[in-house]
Structure 1
Amino acid sequence: MLQLESYLNQQIEQACRQLQFPNISYQIDRPRQEAHGDISINLAMLLTKALKQNPRQIAARILEALSLDSDIIEKVEIAGPGFINFFIAPAYLQKTVTRVLAEGENYGRFDSGKGRKAMVEFVSANPTGPLTVGHGRQAVLGDTVANLLEWLGYEVTREYYFNNAGRQMRVLADSVRQRYLELLGDKIDFPEDYYQGDYIRDIAAGLREAHGDALRGSDDLTVFKDAAEQAIFADIKKTLA
């Protein structure tokens, strides 16, 4: 349908140039009633003020100047206050259906991006906890953009930036350490601004199982940070799979 609209736009613009009508934007609609055709435009009514003519008269002049392929457009009518209604030729629709069946899932693909590359970076949430519904929205939007670019022929790379640096990662590591010590029986005053989720306890439990109390006296957060990163990113990958 987009190709058909492009064809009609070209023909209408050519007719308006021939008539020396001003170049203005108009709306292409699909009528709700079958009797009004397949495509309708409101151009004539928009030209009324500039041309100081009845919109139906303007529509008639446009129709007279149009040079349409009868294999594509079967007929054109003026309706109501000046709408121009186009009726698509059945043979054209049949050809389109045949093409859809022949091309299958590839119907509608374009090659405008062929030979070009595009990178789409999306989600890229800090690996400090499970993904949320908000992250899911960005995942859908990002993947949709990537799919559209692929549909246009681009070679697309999808990127998720793993930002495992900065203060939040240190807070994450110490959150796990605090829960680890808590599981060992130490009395902990857990900071309110630390990560509170049950997933922190799960990571800490894994460290206790793997190391026992060997990490109790360590001030090095590396082990806690690495364990948290691995567990959280594995969960993120599983969620996005």
Structure 2
Amino acid sequence: MFPVSSLDSHCQVVSDNALSNSSSCPSRRAQISEDDLFSTTDLNDEKLLQVFNAHGYTNLSRLSSRVFKAQHPSWGLVTIKSAQELKHRHFLKQEAEFLYSNTNFNTDSNKKDIWPNYCDYFSSHKSDCLVLSYMNGKTLLEIQAYSNIAECLPSRWLSALESTINQVHRLGFVHGDIKPSNIVFCPQGQAQLIDFGSVTNIGTEREQLRFDSYTPRYFRQNLVTSKLDDWFALAVTLEEFLDDAALPSRYQILLKQHR
């Protein structure tokens, strides 16, 4: 179980019975707690800046309604993801558990990360927050804005992306939401995956999932999660960016078989 900071120097897991039972463990990070950290409906940047500045977060900027970018003295540039609704908290906790289990906390500075590193997780009465290392690059969706996508991507981008997906599968998981906005290419050409809120163990029956999360356009209708889910989603993604001649035949066949 990943650590969650609290005032009493113990880690407390999200208290909702639907998510988990509470437990305690030694706190690995600086303790952070606010009774009312923020409201997702009327939060303004000034209030958020005050809250996070008090705990060492500076240079705060909003990336989306529930995602923020900040600087921390220990972790450097970070992404902070927040959740308030039960379903969103479930997915946030699911992502935190995967990343905590697969983060090397003694990472070699020369190592190229292929997904965000876990930094911290903390809760208030109304919100949960997951702090991750910031992925410096552009998503495939952002790259799409260029007139010639081939010139904006590294020469071996597809091979690097397939290698990253294979690494998730070797760990026994399906990413579950492969799409252009969740694929990042760093300046060095490394392919990275973000947003692991939909991650599941390979072979999980979907009817057993408390909440099922996927993007319909990239979803393969099936009863059990499998590696094929990610490869089908990648095939749909590639079809959006490549013409028929450039789309590898293995993905053309996959689309014909599973659409």
Superposition TM-score, scaled by structure 1 size? 0.23
Superposition TM-score, scaled by structure 2 size? 0.22
Larger radius of gyration: 1
